[in-house]
Structure 1
Amino acid sequence: MPISFWDFAAHAAENPALLLTVLLTSSVLLVNGWTDAPNAIAGAVVTGALPFSMAVALAAACNFLGVLCVTSVNVSVAETVYSIASFGGGRDAALIALCAAMGAVVLWAGAAWCFGIPTSESHALVAGISGAAVALEESLSCIRWDCWGRVLLGLVLSTAVGFGAGFWVQQKLSRRSLSVRLVRLAQIPGAAAVSFLHGAQDGQKFLGVFLLGVALAEGRGDERTFLIPLWLVGLCAAGIALGTLMGGRRIIDTVGRDMVCLSPLQGLSSDLGSVPCLLLATFLGLPISTTHTRTAALLGVGAAGQQRPNWTVAGRVGLAWLLTFPSCALLGYGMSWLFLSFLS
């Protein structure tokens, strides 16, 4: 049966490394909602379809529901994150390394937010965990390359399909005579759907991290690990929702004003281009980045419209994407090495 809340709390109380891992993972959950979720409502906010405060509240509610609903039918994304790398070296050392990985993600996400650059906490998560595991085992053999293949496949598909779908939808809708009022009304369920799917994708990834922490604390990796308790689903849902309520205005300005100056029709097209890609990937169990999908769709609608994207800003965002994997892997490796040197 799934681990109870009280058993989980007892493990955390007995093991400081697990407790710190839980606290850091919870922090990453908040940061994810704060810096990643705003992409979903960027179009609705900058085009005036929704006031900022209402859009944030809508995104928080839909993120919460996305975590709750999708994890009841499909946890393939969580399993991929859980299995991305193996941690040897004993229980305490493994937990210290996982703790270091979460610290690396917090540092990367905080730095990206300071510059207003939308990066993927999902990719930071898998890279940080992998780097920490390599530092622990001193070998690349700990990496599950089949899981990494799913991550990279999701990256390529989300970027290519997001851009192509955004471009195609914008071209189709621009040929129709749609009132601005109707378009703005349609943006509201569009933003809600993208927010729901953000929760569905990213909530699973953090469930995988929490369950990995429990498995390492108990020194096991059997099938019982992936019986997900309802209280843990609720914790992840609440964490992302609370983080979303913190705002993320800088990210909205970057993707919705600086990178592409969106019209209401372009905002709707980006929503309609993002949703099918996110939905398909979620039910196929591919861990993809909502940030990448959404940003690619925005660039697609910009390329198809009269208001072209600011490719300088887009290039800066793209560079941050490219740097996420190696930077977070190195951060995870370096922090794990430091933590293991002084704490184990």
Structure 2
Amino acid sequence: MVTTLLVVVICLAIIFDFINGFHDAANSIATIVSTKVLTPFQAVIWAAIFNFVAFFVIKDHKVANTIAKIVIQDYVTINVILAGLAAAITWNLFTWWFGIPSSSSHTLIGGFAGAGMTNALYMGANAFDAVKMDYVLKIASYIVLAPFIGLIIAYIITIIILHICKNARPAAAEKWFKAGQLISSAFLSFAHGGNDAQKVMGIIYVALVTNNIITDGAAMPEWIPLTCYSAIALGTMSGGWKIVKTMGTKITKVTPLEGVSAETAGAITLTITERLGIPVSTTHTITGSIIGVGLTKRVSAVRWGVTINLLWAWIITIPISALIAAGVYSLIRLFA
């Protein structure tokens, strides 16, 4: 039976997906805007198109399956999902307002896990019994691994390109790299949509299972991916200019060549992790890639003070989201 609360949860999930789009728009467009290949308006349209194209290509939804299984079903209620989404939206808007490129993915994961753990405590169980720790630890490990993988791939790609083009005329090379950025940014936007939209698909799926609309393990209804890819694309179109400034200019100065390298490295990393069903952070991945291209010039080309601040934001995202979700869930229990 479709309840009012289920409708509210689905609406909040779609709102989160939209916020994810404009919060993470910077990941897809920061370098292409900072190198002036496209205007900000052109860039968000370009990114949104390829966010949505992922709907027609990705059909196995491994990342969504991982998200749906983070909290053990015995401890999942519609109120748990509601609290997790409310916490994720709150932290996402807070970090967006202050221009902090934190992870929407980890915000959602932290919120969902925190609400589930709080429910377990109210049920008299151990909080850690409510979550599949192997899933959580794998996701947490990629807070470090995703940006590091992006960094290494970007560094290698940049060195290879520099070697191949060492005898090219600078003006001609820049022209080709600007054209190449259209392709690499499209690839990154596609990978962003394919990875990030699935996280909300997993939340909506588990909400339907919890409300006995579908059975656990049943095929995902087609309207879920269609809605989620649409929401993230529309969110991307609305932009996230504060974070664009941080990503595109404050970490290191990015040229068209380096933009191609960073975007390609980020897209490759996201594609690999999507195939493995690991919900990594697009923000972490592209940040690591931008650092990687900066390191090809010299270590001092990277503004490490900014990078360290970003790292702290990444580390605290999951626990803070979990704590917010615990508070929201407790309030729901108090008044519901």
Structure 2 length normalisation: TM-score?
A: 0.92
Which residue among 308, 326, 330 is the counterpart of 2:323? Answer: 330
Distance 1:294 1:166 in 2: 9
Q: How many residues of Structure 1 are paired with residues of Structure 2 in the alignment? A: 324
Unaligned runs of 5+ in 2: 122-126
- Determine if the alignment matches structure 1 residue 277 to structure 2 residue 269: yes
Alignment partners' CA distance in 1, 2:49 and 2:100 = 24
| Cα distance in 2 for residues equivalent to 1:221 and 1:152 | 29
Q: Look up the SS of the partner of 1:256 in the other structure.
A: helix
Q: Are 1:255 and 2:241 counterparts?
A: no
Residues in 1 aligned to 2:215 and 2:334: alpha-carbon distance in whole angstroms: 26
Q: Distance in 2 between matches of 1:283 and 1:87?
A: 24
Specify the code of the residue in structure 2 equivalent to 1:318. Answer: L
How far apart in 2 are the matches of 1:327 and 1:173?
41
Which one-letter code corresponds to 1:32 in the other structure? N
Shift of 1:157: 2.7
Alignment of 1:43-54 (within 5 A): 43-54=31-42
Map 1:1-344 onto structure 2 (within 5 A): 11=2, 15-70=3-58, 72=59, 74-88=60-74, 94-138=77-121, 139-175=127-163, 176-177=165-166, 178=168, 179-218=173-212, 222-224=216-218, 227-305=219-297, 308-343=301-336
- What residue identity is the alignment partner of 2:162? S
Q: Is the 8 A contact 1:64 1:241 kept in 2?
A: yes
Letter in 2 for 1:76: K
Q: How far, CA to CA, are the matches of 1:206 and 1:314 in structure 2? A: 28
- Larger CA deviation: 306-315 vs 236-245: 306-315
Secondary structure, in 3 states, of the residue corresponding to 2:316?
A: helix
- Check conservation: 1:88, 1:137, Cα contact below 8 A: no
Question: Alpha-carbon deviation of 1:67?
Answer: 3.4
- Secondary structure in 2 matching 1:36: helix
Post-superposition offset of 1:146? 2.2
Moved over 4 A (4+): none
Contact 2:192 2:267 in 1 (8 A): no
CA distance in 2, matches of 1:260, 1:239: 31
Post-superposition Cα deviations, 1:5-61, rounded to whole Å, max 9, x if no partner, equal xxxxx61xxx23212211211111011000113211111111011111111101001
2:124 maps to which residue?
A: none
Aligned twin of 1:7? none
1-side partners of 2:311 and 2:45: how far apart? 29
Farther off after superposition, 209-218 or 177-186: 177-186
CA distance in 2 between partners of 1:168 and 1:205 (Å)? 30
The sequence identity of aligned pairs, in percent, is: 29
Q: Which residue identity does 1:141 align to in structure 2? A: D
Measured in 2, the distance between the counterparts of 1:173 and 1:305 equals 13
**Does the CA contact (< 8 Å) of 2:187 and 2:264 recur in 1?**
no
Instruction: Please state how far the C-alpha of 1:342 moved relative to its aligned partner.
Output: 1.2
Give a deviation string over 1:86-113, Cα, whole Å, max 9, x none. 2546x8xx11121011000011000101
Post-superposition CA distance 1:129-179 (Å, at most 9, x none)? 000001111122011112213313433331211111112222232332351
> What runs of 5+ residues in structure 1 fail to find an aligned partner?
1-9
Partner AA of 1:162 in structure 2: G
Cα 1:28–1:341 shift into 2, 3 Å: same
Q: How far apart are 1:219 and its partner, in Å? A: 8.0
Pairwise CA distance, 1:265: 1.5
